[in-house]
Structure 1
Amino acid sequence: MVEGTAGPASERDVATTLMDREAAESGAAVGRMIEANLTRLTALGERLRAAPPARIVTIARGSSDHAATYGKYLIETMIGVPVASAAPSVASVFSANVAEEPATLCIAISQSGRSPDLLATVTAQRAAGAHIVALVNDEQSPLAQQADTLVALSAGPEKSVAATKSYITALAAQALMVALWSENEALLTAVNSLPGELERACGLDWSSAVPALRDATNMFVIGRGYSFGIAQEAALKFKETCALHAEAFSAAEVRHGPMTIVRAGFPVLGFATSDTAGDSVREAAQEFAARDALLRVADPAGNGEAALPAIPAHPAIEPILMVQSFYRMVNALALARGMDPDKPQYLSKVTETR
């Protein structure tokens, strides 16, 4: 149970959990993040335009790795530089060297900045000549000390094991970085609107998904493009807070075999942005609906009985708003399933993988 509350998890009010309260702080946290990093990310953008990186490597685990997936789509669609995710065990387990490439940008993302395998990988990338950009919530952490460019997530203390506001600030920080690097005024304007829009998104009603998923044992979460990393994060949150087995798929990839599983009553949650990638999610949802799947789709267009409300915005920003709404729903679902979303069994806040 959460400190200061009584009774089983299923009897507690949603707002009594740390997870719900911390997720609701995301708008204010993003505002702090923008203020803290605008100058340094403007300088980083100028540096990257003057000396474009030949490759970009991301280093992260768990929710932070899903944030990196979001950043990959931003960078590859708006900058054009290929982005690859490093396997931390290459450095921490195999002690393998990284080929020298001074024109490498390394983006490391972590709430704690203390995981040994992440730090070992950053050390290896630095030794190979990479410029290290660290997105980290703990500014006193070892990761922060290794950064060439430190991006303070500024989310504040996050006591619930389930990451929420630190994940959202990591998404917003990458959107800000890319907007300044690419000099994309439309994206920059959308990022600056995030604090207020996140407040709105926190108040959207996704409660219809709770009874639909209360007794589920397996499900799919689908997205595409900018929303794919959010689908990955949602699938993780279903597992860690609700003990519900969920798999994340691209709306394209789900057609290569996994869709065979989707029959009548099989739960599917989709994240559909207002661009052509979102059209792909909507098309997959229509196909699943024809099989009588148990369907819910976050969609700014808001069409159909299965639609969950979502705020229309820049397509790259819509997924950030969607995950804000999702967190309140999954917190309520965990309680409805008799789980404590703040203290998932077998998990701790800092996972020190090696």
Structure 2
Amino acid sequence: MSWVEAELREQPVALERFLTAESAHAPGIVRALLREDVRYLLIVSRGSSSNVARYMQYLFGTFNRLPVAFATPSLYTVYDAPPELGPAAVIGISQSGASPDVVAVLDEARKQRRPTLAITNDAESPLALAADSVLQLHAGEERAVAATKTYLNSIAAVALLSTAAAPQRLDDLRAMPEKVGEQIERSLAAAGVLDGYREVEGGSVVARGVNYGAAFEIALKIRELSGAQFEAFSSADLLHGPIAALKSGRPAIVIAPAGRTLTSMSVALEKVRERGAEVIAISDDERFLSESDTALRLVPGVPEWLSPLLTVVPGQVAAVRLATLRDANVDSPVGLTKITLTH
């Protein structure tokens, strides 16, 4: 078994370990971060961590009513022109905690006396040392280049921070390791339905709302592991132009769990089919699945705000499956390294 598949299978255990270790710490972290003068969150991240940041933008906007902005690291490291951060709390998200440009933003935030938090798998990393508070991911060593369990635990970290003052939602989060385990088994058992896409050159991943970041993560994983050129879009942006590129032979993976976005995703599915593109549906809605060409079923009964912990799993499995069918090295894809240092 490859490292990436082994780590994919380990995700429920890693998630349980994180929740056990950090649930009691989260309320204190949130109190320190969200001081009375904080009016928005500024997130700095790269790669898969930026897809986590997209989830944070929706989750904190919806439940915590806080705007979430994304930092521009080159302003700090290339142009030497860091902006005035004003009433911001600054959060760095990085599995390794090693990238200098991410660390530089937190360094500047502390100079401006803004509260800072590091979300990282390495509690002794440069990012952790630069922050006022640290939320450690407890994912364990990740040997494969492509992030799986560190990504999932990062999503859980954002969810945990959001639930710090909401015990009912915390109970829902604590139930997720079992649900993730069920999803992994379900997705691995269904992986063979993807074999017909072995020669595909590219396609789209479409989502909206809390799963917008999951679309980017799935597209990234497929590109990293198989080389197929998948791109991510919100269902709204897709209709503003990119839909013109859809056609037969370039499938669209459409993420549509039950919830607020299902109606708009159904409209997107209809438009994708009109273009002649095959639809691979990631959903727990039977009607939606029945209207797709390939159905990747989600475990039902999960609140929409936690669905990104599930929706990414069929995408991870799809990326590994396509790469394996193409005889690619899934543990060390050509041109990639585990830790990328950017300035």
**CA displacement 1:49-86 (0-9 Å, x = unmatched):** 66262111001000011011111110011111111111
Q: Does 1:240 align with 2:240?
A: no
**Aligned residue number for residue 306 of structure 2:** 317
**Aligned residue number for residue 336 of structure 2:** 347
Q: Does 1:86 align with 2:71?
A: yes
Q: Structure 2 matches for 1:19-168, cutoff 5 A? A: 19-47=4-32, 51=36, 53-101=38-86, 103-168=87-152
Closer/same/farther in 2, CA of residues 273 and 123 from structure 1, 3 Å limit? same
Q: Which amino acid aligns with 2:206?
A: I
TM-score (norm 2): 0.94
TM-score (norm 1): 0.91
Q: Does 1:286 align with 2:270?
A: yes
**Aligned residue number for residue 170 of structure 2:** 188
Could you tell me how far 1:241 is from its partner in structure 2? 0.5
Q: Which amino acid aligns with 1:106?
A: V
Q: Which amino acid aligns with 1:280?
A: S
**Aligned residue number for residue 197 of structure 1:** 179
**CA displacement 1:285-319 (0-9 Å, x = unmatched):** 12212333111010111331532110220101112
Q: Structure 2 matches for 1:215-234, cutoff 5 A? A: 215-234=199-218
- Identical-residue share of aligned pairs (%): 30
**Structure number with higher relative contact order (C-alpha < 8 Å, ≥ 6 residues apart):** 1
Equivalent position to 1:300, from 284, 302, 307: 284
Q: CA RMSD in A?
A: 1.6
Question: Contact 2:33–2:89 (CA<8 Å) still a contact in 1?
Answer: no
**Aligned residue number for residue 257 of structure 2:** 273
Q: Structure 2 matches for 1:167-182, cutoff 5 A? A: 167-180=151-164
Equivalent residue of 1:293, what SS?
coil
- Structure 2 stretches of 5 or more lacking a match? none
Question: Contact 1:209–1:296 (CA<8 Å) still a contact in 2?
Answer: no
- Structure 1 stretches of 5 or more lacking a match? 1-15
Measure, in 1, the Cα distance between the counterparts of 2:66 and 2:167.
20
Question: Contact 1:300–1:310 (CA<8 Å) still a contact in 2?
Answer: yes
Measure, in 2, the Cα distance between the counterparts of 1:134 and 1:212.
42
Could you tell me how far 1:40 is from its partner in structure 2? 1.9
Q: Which amino acid aligns with 1:241?
A: L
Stretches (4+) displaced over 6 A: none
Measure, in 2, the Cα distance between the counterparts of 1:122 and 1:142.
10
Measure, in 2, the Cα distance between the counterparts of 1:263 and 1:324.
26
Equivalent residue of 1:105, what SS?
strand
More deviation, 153-162/296-305: 296-305
Closer/same/farther in 2, CA of residues 338 and 90 from structure 1, 3 Å limit? same
Q: How many residues align?
A: 336
